[in-house]
Each structure stands twice: as structure tokens, then as C-alpha cells.
Amino acid sequence: MNWINFRSNEELKALIQKALAQRILEHAQAFALNLNDLELLSAFLEELDHEGRREQEAKEAGGAGEGGVIIAPGRDVPPGGVLVEG
């Protein structure tokens, strides 16, 4: 088994959910899954993959991240804002 790196609890949660869902699908007959169960589990895996791709694209894009605001030099700081010198 290979080690998998993760950066947050949410990323670990998604990795565990994906591994478990894949294992259940691999052994669907042993779990007596019906067609509806298989479809729901497959859709869940697709959603996890889609979220993973979105997160990866956001990481690659860089930028201010969640909730960041970049203000041009000489502009006023918005109410409640904090000026961070870089």
C-alpha cells in the first residue's frame, strides 16, 4: 500500500470516502447492492472527483485564496479590513 499525503481534515475525509466507496463498488455483490445503490454510489464518486478537480484547479491558480482582497497601493482599506504589508 502506498502512502497518500493530505493537507487538511476535509481532504482526508474525501480520500477515505472515495476509497471506501470504491471498495464497496468492487464488492457490490457481497454487499447485495441493488441498481439504485450502485447508481447512487457511482454518482457520489463522480461528485468527489469533481470536487477534487475544482480544488486542484484552485490551488494551481494561486491568488488570494478564500476571502482575500488585494488593494492597490494608495487605496483606502475597506471597513473591517486589515492592511497586511508584504
3-state helix, strand, coil in the chain (%, to 5): 50, 0, 50
Per-residue pLDDT tens digits for 1-34: 788 888 889 889 999 999 999 999 999 999 999 9
Per-residue pLDDT tens digits for 51-63: 878 877 777 766 5
Would you tell me how many other CB atoms lie within 10 Å of the CB of residue 33?
A: 16
Q: Measure the CA–CA gap between 38 and 20, rounded to whole angstroms.
A: 13
Question: Which residues, at least 6 apart from 6, have a Cβ–Cβ distance to it below 8 Å?
Answer: 12, 15
pLDDT of residue 67: 64
Q: What is the pTM of this model?
A: 0.59
Q: What is the distance in angstroms between the CA of the first residue and the CA of the last residue of the chain?
A: 43
Q: Measure the CA–CA gap between 30 and 26, rounded to whole angstroms.
A: 9
pLDDT of residue 52: 78
